[in-house]
Structure 1
Amino acid sequence: MSISTTGVGFNRSGIALGTTAAKYAALAPSPSRTADAAKTSAMNTGDVVQISDAAKAAAAALQKPSPADNAIAARSKLDALYADAKSDGTFITFDTAKGGRQLDMSALSDEELAAIAVDHGGSFSQDESNDAAGWLNLRLAKTLQPFQNATMNGDRRAHAMTLNALYDSASQDVRDALGWTPAMRSEGDTLLSGDTARFGRLDWPSIFSNLRDASNNGGMAYKG
């Protein structure tokens, strides 16, 4: 499945800035040691120890799967799909004219699809990478669909705001898989500024509401 991003908002080219959480993980205190110390302190003083929301968020960030973890998980899920097809007496195909069944990647996360599409480790075939990029672009199109008519009529405010929000929350692999770059992020700001001057300002809550709804109905995951 090869889906063009033309008309979706971004072209497939370029590289965005990104960082990995791995280099910070080594500097962070061990969650188990921190928990043990807090437990000991509570036992000695009789006080109830509460972990702040910021500390919980930091711990959760350190536990996010790495790009390599996403690639391993994606490879495992694809292998299971191939095995399931074989057990059903058929096979996975990228050309339905030859029979078989298409590779259904709907159960994979955005991060796993991106890991397949960029394929840093050479773990996937070109057909698999193309299909994964197609699935990710379909999810993006689903997220942007409510604004299609307004965009076609020259009002790109919601379109630009949604893309900006997705860009800001996306991982480097997702940005690379969709061809999103800092220059495109800047272009989104320019479009938004021009259309805001023409049509007025849009409220962000409605954009965030659509992002949450889309995340639950086949669109891209939004982590903001």
Structure 2
Amino acid sequence: MSLISDNLQAVLSDIRRTELQYGRPASSVRLLAVSKTFGTDAIIEAARCGQRAFGENYLQEALDKIAFLKQSVPEFTLEWHFIGPIQSNKTKPIAEHFDWVHSVDREKIAHRLSEQRPPDYPDLNICLQVNISGEDSKSGVSPDDVLVLAERISGLPKIRLRGLMAVPAPVTDFVAQREAFQRLHALQNQLIARGISLDTLSMGMSSDIHAAIAEGSTMVRIGTGIFGSRNYAK
């Protein structure tokens, strides 16, 4: 077996063990393979092992990969997730080429995605990115503003608000990791109580995956744990 195959199996086994450990339903957590900076060969290798959902941060890099893979491996129906910051002048290609967007944090972005989603495409799944740790350097809507934003965009056509996403401040303490994810889960529950139907918590990466699953994550975003170390110089 290849390194990517071995890594995928190890990550999936870890997810299933953690689900069991914290009383989560089996297979309630999806794996999003974060393929930014990795080439199409790596994505094809992961797809051949059964992985279908891939996350990308950089738009042009992602568009090149999507176009190439559609032609090169049409037998694989891949699901593309945009997880990076969104510039308002880049929403059209995102609306046209992705299945999910995890990083919506402004009403303007949601409206543009709604207007620019092709009418014959299924609704675009979106998550609101929440700056759960209040970091100046991080994108995301303030926790205090999530409800208003969700209410304003939840009825827009051609997009479907699925849930919340966060990248908390990095900490190594497991209890502190859980506290950040617990706050995001509580926000989701507040929105559900207000009648906004949500089913997704996109939270947890390689360094905090166990805390995220313990606090209700339904989708974890793993890159280096599957593909190895990144070379950003490329």
TM-score (norm. length: structure 1)? 0.26
With CA pairs under 8 Å and 6+ residues apart, which has the higher RCO, 1 or 2? Answer: 1
TM-score (norm. length: structure 2)? 0.25
Instruction: Please say which structure displays the higher CA radius of gyration.
Output: 1
In proportion to residue count, which structure has more helix?
Answer: 1
